[in-house]
Amino acid sequence: MDSTTSRRPDARFLLAHPAHFIALGFGAGLAPFAPGTFGTLAALGLYWLLALALHPLVIAFLAIPLFFVGVWACGVAGRNLGVEDHGALVWDEIVAFLPLAALVSGSLFLQALAFALFRLFDVWKPFPIRHFEARVKGGFGVMLDDLLAACYAYLVLIVVIVAVHRLPVSP
């Protein structure tokens, strides 16, 4: 993530263009520290709000068109900030985390685990995430590395869920 810019986004920037509002996660990206974590928290809140009216599977699949909205919005906002993958762009965290939240919707513990795993892989960027982050540019590059981090988190979640269900139950 490149964060060297003379322009720090503010409320004026957030509201100057619909793409800015989306890319900065409705304002979560304006957090003074750890904006990615605040973006993921916003995703969890958005999931809970959507879950009032939509089935978890619908929310998970809603991430597909939202990904492409993010390619556009993060591309526009990144260009306008002068930094392609500015730390304030958190729509990628929001969209990538929604399917994970839907997967573990029945358990607050698993939602917390999904949150921690997603943040771990988003920050750590194991292979090939860092590779793609360095080579794929624009809004698609911004969105792609978080999608890959979510895939890693998903795989670990599945292993944990399967392992827990295979534990013997004592009578």
Predicted confidence (pLDDT) per residue in 16-55, tens digit = 999 999 999 999 999 999 999 999 999 999 999 999 999 9
Quote the CA–CA distance of 91 and 28 in Å, as a whole number: 9
157: nearest Cα among 94, 107, 104: 104
Predicted confidence (pLDDT) per residue in 2-14, tens digit = 444 447 899 999 9
The pLDDT of residue 170 is 67
Q: Does the residue 4 lie in any domain?
A: no
The pLDDT of residue 106 is 87
Q: Does the residue 124 lie in any domain?
A: yes
Q: Does the residue 5 lie in any domain?
A: no
Quote the CA–CA distance of 93 and 118 in Å, as a whole number: 9
The pLDDT of residue 83 is 93
The pLDDT of residue 167 is 75
If you average pLDDT over residues 121-145, what whole number do you get? 95
Task: State the chain's maximal CA–CA distance in angstroms.
Answer: 64
Q: Does the residue 6 lie in any domain?
A: no
The pLDDT of residue 5 is 42
Predicted confidence (pLDDT) per residue in 80-131, tens digit = 999 999 999 999 999 999 999 999 998 999 999 999 999 999 999 999 999 9
The pLDDT of residue 104 is 94
Q: Which range of residues forms the domain containing residue 50?
A: 11-166
Q: Does the residue 116 lie in any domain?
A: yes
If you average pLDDT over residues 126-155, what whole number do you get? 96
What total number of domains does the chain contain? 1
DSSP state of 168: P
